[in-house]
């Protein structure tokens, strides 16, 4: 089921949410991912957006990096698939996989749940980070707390 994308326009949330902080730690424990960034009040990396804020400014987005090895990529694919499978339960708003294919791929909640919400990028204009060894993840700002999100995360079957 498609859900409204909650981050247009983005705003300055002043800090990383407790939900996104838990998510980054959980991805580190489960897949060995590194925190490449959460909250930062900056413009989006898109000249056409002319000063619009990045979703990172809201405090509900993160970049999680993985090693540029076959094992690192396998972990990223496993995480991508698990997050898509549980996109509704975890209220995932977006995921970008910059290493996939020639230009990457992205999931958005407004396109549908799971695989139905995925778009494979066909050119460099669609891709925000072609070839990068990280996933960008945005979680809806509807969680009351990081503890509430953590309870949902722990209730789901591990990959």
User: pLDDT tens for residues 86-117?
Assistant: 999 999 999 999 999 889 999 999 999 999 99
Query: What integer pLDDT is reported at residue 128 of this predicted model?
Result: 66
Instruction: For the beta carbon of residue 12, count every other beta carbon within 10 angstroms.
Output: 12
Determine the Cα–Cα distance for residues 3 and 88; give it in Å rounded to an integer: 9
Determine the Cα–Cα distance for residues 45 and 51; give it in Å rounded to an integer: 9
Phi, psi at residue 134, to the nearest 5°? -155, 160
Question: Which pLDDT band, with edges at 50, 70 and 90, does 18 fall under?
Answer: very high
Find residue 89's DSSP bridge partners.
none
Determine the Cα–Cα distance for residues 54 and 59; give it in Å rounded to an integer: 10
DSSP state of 143: -
DSSP state of 82: H
Matching residue, tokens 């995360």? 153
Reported pTM: 0.95
Per cent of the chain over pLDDT 90 is 83
> Do residues 62 and 35 touch, judged by C-beta distance below 8 A?
yes
């Amino acid at each position: 089921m498609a859900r409204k994308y909650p981050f247009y326009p983005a705003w300055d949330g002043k800090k990383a949410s407790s939900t996104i902080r838990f998510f980054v730690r959980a991805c580190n424990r489960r897949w060995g991912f590194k925190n490449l960034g959460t909250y930062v009040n900056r413009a989006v990396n898109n000249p056409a957006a002319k000063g619009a804020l990045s979703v990172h400014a809201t405090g509900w987005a993160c970049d999680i990096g993985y090693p540029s090895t076959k094992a690192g990529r396998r972990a990223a694919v496993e995480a991508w698939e698990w997050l898509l499978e549980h996109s509704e339960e975890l209220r995932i708003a977006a995921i970008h996989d910059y290493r996939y294919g020639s230009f990457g791929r992205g999931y958005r909640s407004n396109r549908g749940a799971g695989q139905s919400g995925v778009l494979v990028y066909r050119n460099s204009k669609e891709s925000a980070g072609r070839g990068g060894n990280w996933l960008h993840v945005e979680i809806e700002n509807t969680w009351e707390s990081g503890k509430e999100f953590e309870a949902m995360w722990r209730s789901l079957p591990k990959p």
